[in-house]
Each structure stands twice: as structure tokens, then as C-alpha cells.
Amino acid sequence: MSPELIITIAMFGALIFGTVVLGAHLGFVLVIVGIVFGLTFWGTGALSAITYRAFGIMTNYVIIAVPMFVFMGCILERAGFAEDLYEGAEALFGRLRGGLAVGTIMLSTGLAMCTGVVAASIGTAGVLALPAMLKRGYHKGLTLGTIAAGGTLGILIPPSIMIVMYASLAQISVGRLFLGAFLPGFLLAALFIIYILIIAAIRPQMAPTRVAIEGEEAAVGRHRLLRGVRGILPMGVIIMAVLGTIIFGIATPTEASGSGALVAILVAATYRRANWQNLKGAALHTVELMGMMGAVIFGAKGFSTVFVALGGAKMLSNLLLGVDIPPLAVLVLIMFIIFILGMFIDWLAILLICLPVFLPIANIMGWDPIWFGMLLMVCLQTGWLTPPFGYALFFLVGIARRLAPEVTYGDIVLGCAPFVPLQLAGLGLCIAFPQIVLFLPGLVFD
């Protein structure tokens, strides 16, 4: 066994031990493991290298877009536009069996196009949909799985902060990646809806219609529909302010993130919802999220710097390329590694650690960088739903403790289980049909 392989196993073993067994914060575990192994096998030069790489991330112009997108999503959440949108979805789909679950997926898709943050999507959809669906007799597992799976769309559909981070690390056009993410994101949403409708047809007791609920008015009120349209309008304005300016070349992603945050404030003010309390709360929540992400970024940069310097990245690359298997098998193996890591490690750390290994392989194989990057991100999305450390599971646990105390972590895991194969099916379709990813970037830019 080569020294590089031993070091690789030891570093990842220490990482999993610190996060899974000890339960320490991922960012601190990453940087501690990086520093310890760096000083042991590299020397004091490791400290300078880690600091230099971390400074490079801190001064990256593209990454400025991340806090702006987060702030924009927080403004929308606190201004109550998601509640308007949910009422409209309920009005439109309430008579359909499973319609409220379908409306929840539609709500999550709309939130994904305005927030780019899973925590905001799941938090908003959970608060709105969890009590409403349980009250109307929806099966607990279907309710929980729908909310969590729909919420994960926020990390894939633009303006996704994961896409911004990937584009910065891989030196790829953010605009092309944004366009490449739309169809895969909508494909996953469609797969979720199809699954819900099939389950509702096979097991109607899991998803009752509004007319089947005793004591509840089945007619769809016109005021609710109008309220839903009123909620869609500000979302549409903000989407155009961000994505429209990027796609049509009016602004860079960083500039568009700032304009999106400003437009979100102006739209909230137009609806008389931009009070000081909402702005202050959105700003503080943005600082909290960015502080958490900053710790992971710094730690992962330290870990990956030492990992690459000690030959781990080159060893894994040679190992994958040296196996006499077809390119498709190499791709499947890479996706399998990402899928397993997603069960234990945050997506941001996975990107920072694995990109130095997998990007050179993708270049050697001649894979389209937009297509390969989108496959990685679709695969990373599954990590939000897979135990033991799927973040979407924990977000939903926190919501359920306040709104539905009878819901347990086990209920959430079981409810999300059917949606993981659906995500993998979407990944398989993107592999089999690359134009799902490449059609829109080619249409607009080529």
C-alpha cells in the first residue's frame, strides 16, 4: 500500500470520525485535520499554504454573489410572498388528489428560483405546508418527503449558491451553468410530481382531496386565486431582475445578485412589507448562514490544500484512470463516491476537496465541463436527503419540533427515502441524455 493511499485513508477517516463520532463542527474538523497532517508530513510550510488558499477564496469577486442571493431569499421569506404563492397553489391544485403535495413542489420550485438556499426553501415550505397537509389528512411520510425533496431544489435551480461556488472553483461561466441547471431542476420537480400523483392514485388514503375532508369548504375562492397571482408577480419580477440580466448579458452574476437584493427590498416596500424588523432579521440571518459557510470554506480549503500537496489527489486520479474500465464506468464511480460522501459531509466541503481530483479526470476524458459540473451538482443534491447527516432532514426536524411534535427523525428519513431514487433517476437521465443539460446553454450562447 502506497504512502499516499495510507494518508488519504487516514485523512478521510479522521474527518468522518470527527464529524460523525465526535459530532464536532465540520469546518473545525476540516481545518484541524488539514493542519495536523500538514505539519506532520509537510512541515510549517503547510500553514502558509493554507492561509494563502483561504485568502484567495476571501478575495474572489464571484463569491460576493453568495451573500447577496442569501439576503434576497431571506427578504422574500420574511416579507411573506411565499405564503401568498402557497395559497395560490392550494387554490389551483386543491381539488386534485394529491394536489396539495403537488402545490408544495410547485411552491418549492418557485422558492428555488428566488432564494438559492435550501434552508430558506425548506424552512418556508415546512412552516406553510407541514401543518396544512397533516390537517387535511395527508400521510405523514408523504408530507415530510414532499417538503424535504422539494426544498432541495433550492440548491440546484438558479440562482443557486452551489452553482456560483462551483463556477468560481472550476473557472466556468456562471451564466452557462445557470442555464444548464434549469432543465435538470425542472426534471426533478416533474419526477417528484409524477411520483406523488401515482401514489395518490394507488393509495388514495395517503392524499385526500379537499372535497373528501369533512367540514371544509371545497370550492376554490376567487380571492385566494387572486392572492396567489399577487404572490407570483413579485417572484417573477425578482427572477427577471436576477436571471434575466445574466442570461441577456446585461449584468454579471455578481452584479445581478446585488440588483436582485435591491429589487427584493423595493418589491417588499411596494407591498408595504419592508419594515425595519424584516430587514434586520434578513440581514442577521444572512450573517449567520455566511458565518457557517465561511467556517466550512476555510476548513475545506485547508484540508484540500494539504490533501493535494501530500499526493492524495494525484493518487486517486491515477487510480481511477489506471483501471481498465470504460469512461462511463469511471463516471459512475465518480458519482458513487460523491453520493457516499454526501451522506457524511457538507456539499461545500465535497466540492472543495474533490474538484482538484475529478476536474483533471473530466478534462482527460473529454467530458463537457458544463455537463460534468451539472452531474456533480445533481448528485450532490441527493446528499441533502440521505442519512445520517442529510441537512434537509435536520432542517425539517427543527420545524417539526415546533409545528408537529409527533414527527420523529425516523419518520422524516422514511418519508424522504422514496425521493432519493427519484433524484438518482434524474441523474441517470442527465447522463443518458446530455442535451437535458446542454440544450439551453447552447441555445442562448452558441
3-state helix/strand/coil string of 266-335: HHHHHCCCCCHHHHHHHHHHHHHHHHHHHHHHHHHHHHHHHHHHCCHHHHHHHHHHHCCCCHHHHHHHHH
CA gap 230, 299 in Å, rounded: 43
Question: Is omega for the bond preceding 434 within 30 degrees of 0, making it cis?
Answer: no
The values of phi and psi at residue 128, to 5°, are -80, -45
- Contact between 79 and 273 under an 8 Å Cβ cutoff? The reply is yes
Cα distances (Å, whole numbers) of residue 58 to 161, 236, 261, 434? 15, 32, 21, 34
Q: Angle 21-22-24 (CA atoms, 0-180°, nearest 5)?
A: 125
Q: How many domains does the chain have?
A: 1
CA gap 36, 38 in Å, rounded: 5
Predicted TM-score (pTM) of the model is: 0.80
Tell whether the torsion through CA atoms of 296, 297, 303 and 307 is positive or negative. Answer: positive
- Contact between 104 and 144 under an 8 Å Cβ cutoff? The reply is no
- Contact between 158 and 181 under an 8 Å Cβ cutoff? The reply is yes
Q: Angle 77-82-88 (CA atoms, 0-180°, nearest 5)?
A: 170
Tell whether the torsion through CA atoms of 28, 34, 40 and 44 is positive or negative. Answer: negative
Q: Is 80 helix (H, G, I), strand (E, B) or coil?
A: coil
How much is the pLDDT for 223?
Answer: 59
The values of phi and psi at residue 174, to 5°, are -65, -40
Question: Is omega for the bond preceding 418 within 30 degrees of 0, making it cis?
Answer: no
- CA-closest candidate to residue 351, choices 63, 4, 2, 22: 63
End-to-end CA distance of the chain: 48
**125, three cell numbers:** 415550505
Q: Which residue range is the domain that position 239 belongs to?
A: 3-445
Per-residue pLDDT of the chain (446 residues; tens, 9 = 90+): 678 888 888 998 898 888 778 878 778 888 899 999 999 998 888 888 888 877 877 777 777 877 887 788 778 778 877 676 666 666 666 667 888 888 889 888 887 887 666 776 787 778 778 888 888 888 999 999 999 999 899 889 888 888 988 988 888 888 899 899 999 999 999 999 999 999 999 998 888 765 444 444 444 455 555 655 666 777 778 778 777 777 777 887 788 888 888 888 998 888 888 888 888 988 888 888 778 777 877 888 888 889 888 887 777 777 777 667 888 999 999 999 899 888 877 788 888 888 888 998 999 899 999 999 999 999 999 988 988 777 788 778 877 877 788 888 889 899 999 999 999 999 999 999 999 999 999 888 76
